[in-house]
Chain A
Amino acid sequence: MRAMPHGPTRRALLGGAAAATLACPALGGTRPRVVVVGAGFGGATAARWLAAGGVDTTLVEASPNYVACPRSNEVVAGLRGIEAQTLGYDALGRAGLTFVHGTARAVDAGARRVSLGDGTALPYDRLILSPGIDLRFDAVPGYDAAAAEAMPHAWKAGAQTVLLARQLAAMPEGGTVVLSAPANPYRCPPGPYERASLIAHFLKARKPRAKLILLDAKDTFSKQKLFEAAWARLYRDVLEVVPLAGGGQVSEVDPAAMVVRTDFAEIKADVACIIPPQRAGRIAAQAGCADRSGWCPIDPVSFESRLVPGIHVIGDAAIAGAMPKSAFSANAQGKVCAQAVIDLLAGREPETPRLINTCYSLVAPDDGISIAGVFRPTDGQLADVPGAGGISPLDAPDAVRRQEAAYGESWYRTITREVFG
């Protein structure tokens, strides 16, 4: 067996005991079955933890491979190839779980069954949904799935990321790039601002007469002071930021004319990246786990849905209080949720968890910033542990910024190996 960051060691410690517990005759003598839908940072993590804990685990994923969002802004800016973001599922198939390539079409929560596109039905004792996001193609007038081919969102890494990178590379000298950021909540809160930074870096280096206009549907955002300081230092002549209060909300797009409109302006773009509002992935709503916001309320101890018993929701789809929708959060939630599921199946009360999030962003190559948080259930929500977390110091010396950039790279290698390796 290949040495995994948490494989054999945990199997020896936790797996043996938990497996014996789960096969306890008092519980009926059969191994409980858990189905996990979605093999991203949340679902794949949860499935691995369950399998290591002796649970009969089936992981359902529609895509042939995973294209990771963290670091994909570097692909947009021509600093990195998409292949470096593309991860196979082969290792998950060897992780002691059943990996099913298929689309989860519907959940029958009453019968505790997931049906797949090919008609297969997967029964479960508990279900974990980690479906990520769906882009809302009904939220910005003119911006539908077809419009995204002209004005990429690139908010699900893959073909869209490559499309945006190609458009930027092919853009005429002196062109205009429009980038729009949605209102909260959405996947990767600092992501639009890292993207603005790296596109500005690209323009400065390769298209020095070009401009980037960032249209924002809000006035405050993650790591704001750090981004704004970097923009003032590095991109003063390239980047124009229009916050909500300045009319930054996109009111309409016309992809045929490459026009982006706000209440106050009409901008002709050479490249337009429109990041629309989002909701939990389709299966979450189909299963009844999404509320009117489009996201999924959960119990902060077990991540069990507040709306449908027996179904847990993790990752971007969940309403996780103060925890941001990030790969790090999804990974941390995957482990906590899987352990809670093991405990519930064994008749134990899940322990009150504590979770960590860390997100690195680049403001330029080799120039990194971070935000961290520690979270615990408080009044039914995941809340910040007071006094912990926060952003990098504003006055960090260059050496620290380089170190944070390197730590961001290291984090990506570590987490992708832990989840997909």
Chain B
Amino acid sequence: MSRRYSPFLLALALACGTAARAAELRPPPGASSCTGCHAQGAAMGALEGRSEAEIVAALAAFRSGERPATIMNRIARGFDADESRAIAAWFAARGSH
């Protein structure tokens, strides 16, 4: 994950106050793809509002093959434990709508 900022950008972020916060609220890598399938009312179900622990556990179980799947086993293998946790935290923080 790249989080390198030049001194200029850092100064700009501090000057603007919210820039650093906005950067932290960016979706972590991979997260924005998920809502192509996952939504309220869909067969795949919404991710927003599920707990971080639930999503982390689901991704780990899909990755290991422990949880039966049609496609999530193939997708979960594209993310390691840290990356999965970042995605889970982002969806958990977005709450339900």
Tell me the A residues contacting B by CB distance below 8 Å: 3-10, 13-14, 17-18, 20-21, 24, 26-27, 49, 328, 331-332, 335-336, 339, 343, 346-349, 351-358, 370, 372-374, 376, 385, 387-390, 392, 400, 403-404, 406-407, 410-411, 413-415, 417-418
Alpha-carbon separation in the docked complex, A49 to B97 (Å): 17
Of B4, B23, B32, B37, the most chain A CB neighbours within 10 A belong to B32
Among B21, B74, B94, residue most surrounded by chain A Cβ atoms (within 10 Å): B74
Whether A356 pairs with B75 at a CB distance below 8 angstroms is yes
Interface hub of B23, B76, B93 (most chain A Cβ within 10 A)? B23
Q: Is the CB of B97 within 8 A of A339?
A: no
The 9 closest A-B pairs by CB, nearest first: A374-B78, A388-B78, A356-B33, A410-B43, A354-B29, A335-B32, A17-B22, A354-B30, A24-B16
Once the chains bind, are B39 and A14 in contact (CB under 8 Å)? no
- A17 smallest CB distance to B (angstroms): 4
B81 within 8 A of A: no
Q: Are A336 and B35 interface neighbours, CB within 8 A?
A: no
Asked if B15 and A415 sit within 8 Å, CB to CB, the answer is: no
Q: List the B side residues contacting A410 at CB < 8 Å.
A: 37, 42-44
Q: Which of B37, B48, B76 has the most CB of A within 10 A?
A: B37
Residues of A with C-beta under 8 A to B12: 24, 26-27, 347
List B contacts of A400 (CB < 8 A). 70
Nearest B residue to A396, CB-CB: B70
Q: Which residues of B contact A407 (CB under 8 A)?
A: 37, 43-44, 70-71
Q: Report the separation of the CA atoms of residues A332 and B74 in the bound assembly, to the nearest whole angstrom.
A: 17
Judging by beta carbons under 8 Å apart, are B93 and A13 in contact? Answer: yes
In the complex, the chain A residue whose C-beta lies closest to that of B4 is A349
Query: Max chain B CB contacts within 10 Å: which of A4, A7, A26?
Result: A26
CB pair A346–B79 under 8 Å, yes or no, is no
B39 touches A418 (CB 8 A): yes
Q: How far is the CB of A342 from chain B (nearest CB, A)?
A: 8
Interchain nearest-CB distance for A51 vs B (Å)? 15
List B contacts of A335 (CB < 8 A).
27, 32-33
Contact B78 A14 (CB under 8 A): no
B contact residues, range: 35 or more
Q: Residues of B contacting A388 with CB < 8 Å?
A: 74-79
Which residues of the partner chain A approach B17 to less than 8 Å between Cβ atoms?
20
Q: Are B70 and A17 in contact (CB under 8 A)?
A: no
Contacts of A389 on B, CB cut-off 8 Å? 74-75, 77-78
Q: Is the CB of A415 within 8 A of B36?
A: yes
CB distance from A385 to the nearest CB of B (A): 4
Q: How far is the CA of A357 from the CA of B78 in the complex (A)?
A: 11
Assembly CA distance A26 to B40 (angstroms): 40
Indicate if the CB atoms of B44 and A9 lie closer than 8 Å.
no
Are A348 and B19 closer than 8 Å at their CB atoms? Answer: yes
Contact residues in B for A404 (Cβ distance below 8 Å): 70-71
- Tell me whether B38 and A414 are in contact (CB under 8 A): yes
Query: When the two chains form their complex, are residues A332 and B32 in contact, meaning their CB atoms are under 8 A apart?
Result: yes
B57 beta carbon closer than 8 Å to chain A:
no
> Closest CB of chain B to A179's CB: distance in Å?
27
Q: Is the CB of A347 within 8 A of B42?
A: no
Smallest CB separation, A405 vs chain B (Å): 10
Q: How far is the CA of A337 from the CA of B10 in the complex (A)?
A: 22
A356 CA to B3 CA in the complex, in Å? 22
> Which chain A residues lie closer than 8 Å to B93 at the CB level?
13
Find residues 22-63 in chain B having any chain A CB closer than 8 Å to their own CB. 22-23, 25-30, 32-40, 42-44, 46, 48
In the complex the two chains form, what is the Cα distance from A263 to B85 in whole Å? Answer: 56
